[in-house]
Amino acid sequence: MMKIAILGSGSIVPDFLEAVSDIPELEPAVILGREKSREKLERLAQKYSIRRISYDYDELLVDPQVDAVYVAMPNNLHYEYAKRALEHGKHVIQEKPFTSTLAEAQELVALAKERHRVIFEAISNQYLPNYQKTKELIGTLGDIRLVQINFSQYSSRYDRFRAGIVLPVFDPKQSGGALMDLNVYNIYFVTGLFGKPKEVHYYANIQKGIDTSGVLVMIYPAFLCVCTGAKDCRSPFSITIQGEQGCITSSEATNQYAGFCLAVNGEEPQEYALNEGRHRMYYEMRTFADMVLAGDFEQAWARNEHTLMVMEILETARRQAGIEFS
């Protein structure tokens, strides 16, 4: 049994708790937050049978009963809280985006290796059965020519942003923006299938120093990829991978990927829905538990290399768009 401390009480935390409720090897043992969030923390603790609420990270870090921390803080705090956890011998589950900068990510990965601990980015699509099946089937499409992905949803916080109330997801001081919040899933989806692109170009709609929407173009040696992510407008979700021998399509967002269709030229299309109705975060947390309990550091570090690739793409794109984080 691995006892986990949850850092934060934002909207992603209930999703995490729902997912780990089906993994008996993971026990949410304590939740950390600020005094002003006491009521929210108490509701979460009661609903998910979390025995303890903490307001002191220093105290939590020296608690021998805490084996790992789940960092669900604003993006700009990921690096600091993860680093301190690793320094105190804890494993780390890091919400996306991994850190604000590539240099921070490189430092955390090096520290995890030095301390022989797992640091794991919670990026759901990489572990879904539908995604694993897509990796198996991608070769049936022949040479890939075009990839197009759209993950756009109108943010419930956007109206307040326009009115001058800047919440973390739209705050450059807190490493927000559509690239870091939504397009990051698209980048992982594509690079998990095809690896690192040879060129990256980001064209963003900038308001108040942050990208509220944008189009990322990744150029591969034989095909082009366009990834759209928006928080200031919406459209149907879409995933299209086009090859000379067929295509894979989906109307799902890249963080859920609950189903897809394979259409090979001259054959009847085949529908796949292999996620078994489980919470989208279940499979990534199942993987984390298995890696830590088996001491499979080689797999953890290989996944860290993918994280570093994505962080490099994010940093290149952000610089092209003139987005500066504090």
Residue linked to tokens 């980015």: 121
pLDDT of residue 326: 76
Alpha-carbon torsion, ordered 103, 109, 115, 119, to 10 deg: 130
pLDDT of residue 311: 98
Does residue 85 come out as left (phi exceeding 0), alpha (psi in the -120 to 50 range) or beta?
A: alpha
Beta strands in the chain (DSSP E): 2-7, 26-32, 52-54, 68-71, 91-95, 119-122, 144-152, 199-207, 210-219, 224-230, 238-243, 246-250, 260-264, 270-272
Q: Which residues, at least 6 apart from 175, have a Cβ–Cβ distance to it below 8 Å?
A: 74, 75, 76, 97, 100, 325
Closest Cα partner for 31 from 84, 76, 69, 82? Answer: 69
Instruction: Output the pTM of the full model.
Output: 0.97
The answer to whether the bond into 24 is cis (omega within 30° of 0) is no
Which pLDDT belongs to residue 275? 97
pLDDT tens for each residue of the chain, 326 residues long: 999 999 999 999 999 999 999 999 999 999 999 999 999 999 999 999 999 999 999 999 999 999 999 999 999 999 999 999 999 999 999 999 999 999 999 999 999 999 999 999 999 999 999 999 999 999 999 999 999 999 999 999 999 999 999 999 999 999 999 999 999 999 999 999 999 999 999 999 999 999 999 999 999 999 999 999 999 999 999 999 999 999 999 999 999 999 999 999 999 999 999 999 999 999 999 999 999 999 999 999 999 999 999 999 999 999 999 999 97
Phi and psi torsions of 211, nearest 5°: -85, 115
**Phi and psi torsions of 237, nearest 5°:** -65, 145
Residue 245, phi then psi, degrees to nearest 5: -105, 0
Dist CA 212 CA 202 (whole Å)? 13
Give the integer Cα–Cα distance in Å for 236 and 151: 8
For residue 264, the number of C-alpha atoms closer than 13 Å in the C-beta half-sphere is 9
Q: How far is CA 225 from CA 147, 202, 241, 290, in A?
A: 4, 12, 9, 33
List Cβ neighbours of 319 (8 Å cut-off, separation of 6 or more): none
Q: Which residues pair with 206 in a beta bridge?
A: 211
pLDDT of residue 74: 95
